Structure 1
Amino acid sequence: MNMFCYQCEQTAKGEGCEKIGVCGKQPDVAALQDLLVHALQGLGIVAHEGRKVGVKRADADAFVCEALFSTLTNVDFDPERFKPLIEQAVKYREEVRSEVKAAGGAAEFDAPETNFEPAPSLDGMIRQGEEHGLLNDKETDTDKRSLKHTLLFGLKGISAYADHARILGQTDDSIYAFLHESMAALARTDLSLEDWLSLVLRCGEANLKTMEILDKANTGAYGDPVPTEVPLGPKKGKAILISGHDLKDLEDLLKQTEGKGINIYTHGEMLPTHGYPKLKAYPHFYGHYGTAWQNQHKEFSAFPGAILMTTNCLMRPQEKYRDNLFTTGLVGWPEIKHVKNGDFGPVVEKALEMPGFTEDVQDKTVMVGFGHNAVMSVADKVIDLVKSKKIRHFFLVAGCDGAKPGRNYYTEFVEKVPKDCVVMTLACGKFRFFDKDLGDIEGLPRLLDIGQCNDSYSAIQIAVALSKAFGVGVNELPLSMILSWYEQKAVAILLTLLYLGIQDIRLGPSLPAFTSPNVLQVLVDKFNIKPITTPDEDLKAILG
């Protein structure tokens, strides 16, 4: 059984995974994910038509985000969990179709996606999925297909961010409308190259709105992040490690472990959560353990407590820690214990059974909490430092980390940034340099951790605020973006930057396999996007 997937940066040979995913995804899961996307296209066609006659379904809107999020890299590897998702997509399609028909809208379509019926068995669905993979796309034009798949992967990123926001009570109907419209468009073959490019840039616009409501959701629930010192060494006592991105899961875990003698540690992209006032108020929310997602095999194996995996970034669990690993939400791996509905009792019980840390370990600390509110609270000082030439340049060195060779570029780049420059960072790419002491410029840290990839809106807001303060466009600021990408949320963020007209982005460690040469040339001509070279060459090109 073969597969084809090239949605992440680590795809085999830089071309596509054909036998098994580099991420650990098996061909059966790949086929089921492709079939789920096919089913969501049918739902999208009907839901998009429904909106023309006032038919909207909040439950179907939320479902689309959850379902697409499940197909993101390193989220759900359990084939059994895709069968109900596919069936539910068809169920929603038919329910919405009935409502559309009752409202006087079009309810019958030529598109086969709208009449698709899933096989009754999982094996049958897998066989169906093999017929709807990326290589079976009805669009045969290479450049159109490239843009079409770019759109699909961007939609997956939007869905992840929108799901996070919805969990904390923030939604925006325009985002759901765009998701349905775009899923419907993916089933078409009559769109021009210009149509696809327009949809791709609109995807960036929709993601900007999504990140805006996610920022509102996070700060509304937990306060604006504040600069916070986070210990990297463990504390004696029982322990739970939480990884992923989900703030609500962290809050629930903190509540359910109060008074139980368990210290809570973050891993990976959960590090920035230490800066939220309402989360850091819990005295047993102690420190950070480990680095980025791709190091979890080594780091999880050495952790002496329970481990909770939220959202994405799960890797194939090692035998040494399978018994103390739990997944929750949309994350899944066959035979790994899954905790539903925010009830982390089993996680707590396992932590109490395990030895925990036997002694305090003194180690470095790192600073987090430099979101847009924190940075702009000292905007006057920043502006003065720029005007007095004490700050020459800002670098946003941000994005995903990964195991593929070439990512040491980002460590070396930050190490070589001149001392009169400031480095802003976000997402897990920062773990290449997050614990380095870059010093400060008159009290302003030279390394500013803005947060998770989910906090990319903060970086945009900082750039916009600075551009207004200096009375110039963002592209005229002494600011350069040095980005690393890995999965589909990074694709959505990149599309947002392109929608905003950001020029001269340097992207690495390699360019997306789904970008055709002609599409890449369009991006070069229109946005001057370029691949990273070497730190010395890129710094010289930027700073002169």
Structure 2
Amino acid sequence: MDKKMFCFQCEQTVGCTGCTGNAGACGKKADTARLQDELTGALISLARAVDGSTAISKRTGQIIIEGLFTTVTNVNFDDASIENMIQKVRAEKERLVPDCSKCQSPCGKTDEYDMQQLWDANEDIRSLKSLILFGIRGMAAYAYHANVLNYEDAEVNRFFCEALFMIGYGESVETLLPTVLKVGEINLKCMALLDKANTETYGIPEPTDVTLTIEKGPFIVVTGHDLRDLQLLLEQTEGKGINIYTHGEMLPAHAYPFLKKFSHLKGNFGTAWQNQQKEFDHLPAPILYTTNCLMPPKSSYADRVFTTEMVAFPGAVHIDEKKDFTPVIEKALELGGYKEDQILTGINGGTKVTTGFGHAAILSHAGTVVEAVKSGAIRHFFLVAGCDGAKPGRNYYTEFVKQTPSDSIVLTLACGKFRFNDLELGEIGGLPRLMDMGQCNDAYGAIQVAVALADAFGCSVNELPLSFVLSWYEQKAVCILLTLLHLGIKNIRLGPSLPAFLSPNILNFLVENYGIAPITTPEEDIKALMNHSK
């Protein structure tokens, strides 16, 4: 591929084939894409250096996790930052195998991998390696969030090396396919680890109403996924007359008891990530990006963008590991916020949303749910979940939820919910028909609910009146999909388009073995899914 860049890891990749020009659909420039490839090649080299080790050090594991997270869509646009990460990876390899750099006759066993080999590979090999790579990139984000709360899993860390090694050396469908499914297996452990980290640190999420009204006066918008960053900002702003509002995937933070105790955590600003350039336009407040999704800022608010952790953008102020948020606080006081309260709404006109229906909250009503199913009050469950995005056709998910039968329950999670989370769907037996389970990693909770219901009814998850209707955009969605496949979940509807990195043969394998299908229309899909569960 003689092109300026090549990237097809996100749902919005150009023409559903790949971004190859001066910049990607996400906004990253060709030079940045090439550096991400160089970083990935260096990570594979590091994995080769530790090949055969029964365990890897915490230091090595953290570097690999950081490197993978850096390459997730809409995380890091800053070439200097990526170059520093590359040098960090190379230095770690040098520390582990110092003699390799001195060898007079290189054996090639720890050489850096040229990603062009992957992009030019046989399409089925490329497809399977891409599933592995993009899956572990997404999983690395979850491992990172657990690690900052001092939770880690040696098996998870070791698998990152195993998967990277396979990307570099695996050359047959027979050797690569088991690793693809193992990504799903290990990601389940990783999501369980993050669930434990979040709940043991911040408490069990509780159903919580969240206002969309922004009060007058100074405020800060916090976006991303990192609860620890939000905690530290809340602590540093307490008593300073500054209100804090979540944005995007940070919305579920309102449900955690430890975070709810801060009275200046007021509500949620805006909707999903792809609307930020419009919603942040001339915003009289700073925005703190803790993770993806960052879009290249418009000039009207570029001076109030702050990044931290793995997020970086050229010219944006970066808050380092010391976590001194003074620059963000000073910018909030300088801008002053709105002069009057702003009554904002969701996409459908609602003025509040509800979150906090994690697996513990839902399973606390397990008896009620089981009886409602037995009596016919609940006829079906839909998990309508995943990423939002800018591509036309995502209004499918709004219409799907609107058209779900009145005797069905809609579970949701991740930022795709902003398409419909302000709708009022009513209740069944005192339970809301629409329940927000949390961030994308809370797919773990949805799995726990599904398994518990299957146990209660003495059947498999696939035999439940439960359908999975998923939207995807970036790599965390990939690892979650692989987890569902690892668990044997079938008949998933996926959209708005299928991944460009799936070759016809690999897609056919998924269709034949798991019944994966693209979304069609809400009417047709609801009818088909309801009939399938009878």
Q: Bigger shift: 419-428 or 232-241?
A: 232-241
- Superposed CA deviations along residues 313-343 of structure 1, whole A, max 9, x for unmatched, are 0001000001111111110110111111221
CA distance in structure 2 between the aligned counterparts of 1:249 and 1:25, rounded to whole angstroms: 25
Displacement, 1:488?
A: 0.3
SS in 2 for 1:137: helix
Q: Any idea what the Cα deviations from partners look like across 1:1-20, whole Å, max 9, x if unmatched?
A: 70000000000011100011
Question: After superposition, where does 1:447-466 map in structure 2 within 5 Å?
Answer: 447-466=434-453
Q: 1:42 aligns with which of 29, 45, 51?
A: 45
Q: What amino acid maps onto 2:114 in structure 1? A: H
The equivalent residue for 1:534 is 521
Structure 1 counterpart of 2:35, which letter?
L
Give the distance between the partners of 1:152 and 1:197, measured in 2 at CA.
13
User: What corresponds to 2:31 in structure 1?
Assistant: 28
Partner Cα distance (1:508, 1:284) in 2:
38
Amino acid at match of 1:498: L
Residue 132 in structure 1 maps to residue 129 in structure 2: no
Picking from 389, 397, 415, the partner of 1:410 is 397
Whether 1:8 and 2:10 are equivalent positions in the alignment is yes
Q: Could you tell me which of 230, 241, 260 is aligned with 2:210?
A: 230
Determine helix, strand or coil for the equivalent of 2:436. strand
Find the counterpart in structure 2 of residue 256 from structure 1: 236
Deviates more, 1:229-238 or 1:386-395: 229-238
Q: Normalized against structure 1, the TM-score is what?
A: 0.93
CA–CA distance in 2 between the matches of 1:257 and 1:449? 28
Q: Name which of 490, 493, 498 aligns with 2:480.
A: 493
Q: Considering only aligned residues, what root-mean-square deviation do their CA atoms show, in Å? A: 1.9
> CA separation in 2, counterparts of 1:448 and 1:138?
41
| 8 Å Cα contact 2:233-2:325 kept in structure 1 | yes
294-303 or 513-522, larger mean C-alpha shift: 294-303
Separation in 2, partners of 1:430, 1:100: 50
**What SS does the corresponding residue of 2:198 show, helix, strand or coil?**
helix
Taking the aligned partners of 1:9 and 1:111, their CA distance within structure 2 comes to 35
Aligned to 2:347: none
Whole-angstrom CA distance in 1 between matches of 2:153 and 2:120: 31
Q: How does 1:203-282 map to 2 (within 5 A)?
A: 203-282=183-262
1: CA distance, partners of 2:213 / 2:283? 12
Please state how far the C-alpha of 1:300 moved relative to its aligned partner: 1.0
Bigger shift: residues 74-83 or 136-145: 136-145
Contact 1:23 1:73 in 2 (8 A): yes
Please give the residue correspondences for 1:102-113 in structure 2 after superposition, counting only pairs within 5 Å: 110-111=107-108
Q: Secondary structure at the match of 1:6?
A: coil
Identity of aligned residues (%): 53
- What does residue 482 of structure 1 align with? 469
Are the aligned partners of 1:231 and 1:288 in contact in 2 as well (CA < 8 Å)?
yes
The whole-number CA distance in structure 2 between the counterparts of 1:388 and 1:283 is: 42
Q: Which one of the candidate residues 434, 456, 480 is aligned to 1:469?
A: 456
Give the 3-state SS of the residue equivalent to 1:396 in structure 2.
strand
| SS of structure 1 residue aligned to 2:376 | coil
Give the secondary-structure state (helix, strand or coil) at the position aligned to 1:187.
helix
> Structure 2 vs 1, CA of residues 472 and 390 (structure 1 numbering), >3 Å: closer, same or farther?
same
State whether residues 143 and 519 of structure 1, in contact with CA within 8 Å, keep that contact through their aligned partners in structure 2: yes
Pick aligned residue for 2:20 from 2, 18, 21: 18
1:62 partner letter: Q
- The letter of the residue matching 1:24 is G
Change (3 A) 1:251 1:536: same
1:478-521 CA-partner distances (Å, limit 9, x unpaired): 10000000000000000000000000000000000000000000
Please state how far the C-alpha of 1:115 moved relative to its aligned partner. Answer: 3.5
Q: Deviations over 1:28-66 (max 9, x none)?
A: 110110000000001001112233xx6x32111011001
What letter matches 1:142 in structure 2?
A: E
Contact 1:50 1:96 in 2 (8 A): no
Q: Is the 8 A contact 1:57 1:96 kept in 2?
A: no
Aligned partner letter, 2:173: L
Distance 2:515 2:196 in 1: 32
Q: Give, in angstroms, the shift of residue 99 of structure 1.
A: 10
Query: In the superposition, relative to structure 1, how do residues 523 and 185 fare at CA in structure 2: closer, same or farther (>3 Å)?
Result: same
Structure 1 stretches of 5 or more lacking a match? 102-107, 117-130
Q: 1:158 to 1:99 in 2, by over 3 A?
A: farther
Query: Equivalents in 1 of 2:119, 2:423: separation in Å?
Result: 49
Secondary structure of the 2:231 match is helix
Please show how residues 391-402 of structure 1 align to structure 2 within 5 Å: 391-402=378-389
Q: CA deviation at 1:198?
A: 0.4
Taking the aligned partners of 1:432 and 1:385, their CA distance within structure 2 comes to 27
Runs of 4+ with >3 A deviation:
98-101, 108-112
How far apart are the structure 2 equivalents of 1:86 and 1:80? 10
1:182 aligns with 2:163: yes
Contact 1:408 1:432 (8 Å CA) reproduced: yes
**Does 2:60 correspond to 1:80?**
no
Question: Which whole-Å CA distance do the structure 1 matches of 2:458 and 2:195 have between them?
Answer: 25
C-alpha separation between the residues in 1 aligned to 2:18 and 2:406?
A: 41
Q: CA deviation at 1:393?
A: 0.2
Per-residue displacement from partner, 1:129-181 (whole Å, max 9, x unpaired)? xx934x43287322122101111000101111100110111100001111101
Of the three residues 397, 417, 426, the one matched with 1:430 is 417
Structure 2 Cα separation of the partners of residues 499 and 100 of structure 1: 38
Structure 2 Cα separation of the partners of residues 218 and 158 of structure 1: 16
Secondary structure at 2:266 match in 1: strand
Residue 110 (structure 1) shift: 3.6
Match of 1:105 in 2: none
Q: CA deviation at 1:362?
A: 4.6
The yes-or-no answer on 1:161 pairing with 2:142 is yes
Q: Is the 8 A contact 2:118 2:129 kept in 1?
A: no
Worse overlay, 347-356 or 138-147: 138-147
The CA deviation string for residues 230-249 of structure 1, in whole angstroms up to 9 with x for no partner, is: 00111122110000110000
Could you tell me how far 1:302 is from its partner in structure 2? Answer: 4.4
| Alpha carbons 1:49, 1:100 under 8 Å: kept | no
Aligned to 1:297: 277
2:356 to 369, 374, 389: 369
Kindly tell me the number of residue pairs found equivalent between the two proteins. 520
C-alpha distance in 1 between matches for 2:99 and 2:483: 34
